[in-house]
Amino acid sequence: MQRTRLSTLANVTSSRFNSFFGNPWRRISLQIICVLFGIFSGQAIVTTAGQTAQWDVTAAGLLVLFTEAISRIVYRKSSQAKPAPILRESFNLLKIGITYSLFLEAFKIGS
């Protein structure tokens, strides 16, 4: 790949991001924030889609598509040898939070 300003900017930004979250406390706090944001966004999507009762199927389809895409990216065979990058790990934790909130909403409804 050619060394352009954009590729240099992307490389520098990603290396700074990784070095900033290399600290274990910052990494754990980012993981907790991702899980909590996933729980919040999952509950927000379910309640707003369920209010009108017209977007239930569409919202469910989009959530399933999102979770399956993230699972495919995270659990690929080639990525098992290396440690997971922070962005991939954050999306996986966001997915876990959304899935957890959907289970909680299902228990609240009683279905």
6 within domain boundaries:
no
Is residue 103 domain-resident?
yes
Residue 16 lies in a domain: no
55: containing domain: 23-110
First-to-last C-alpha distance (Å) of the chain: 53
For residue 8, is it within any domain?
no
**Long-range contacts of residues 37-41, Cβ cutoff 8 Å, at least 24 apart:** 37/94, 37/97, 38/93, 38/94, 38/95, 38/96, 38/97, 38/98, 38/99, 38/100, 38/101, 39/97, 39/98, 39/100, 39/101, 39/104, 40/97, 40/101, 41/94, 41/97, 41/98, 41/101
Q: Does residue 3 fall inside a structural domain?
A: no
| Mean confidence (pLDDT) of the chain | 88
- Quick check: is 11 in a domain? no
Q: Encode pLDDT of 9-57 as tens digits.
A: 988 998 898 888 888 899 999 999 999 999 999 999 988 887 877 888 8
pLDDT tens string 62-87: 999 999 999 998 888 765 556 678 88
* Number of compact structural domains in the chain: 1
* Residue-level pLDDT at 25: 93
Residue 61 domain flag: yes
pLDDT of residue 83: 67
Q: Is residue 74 part of a domain?
A: yes
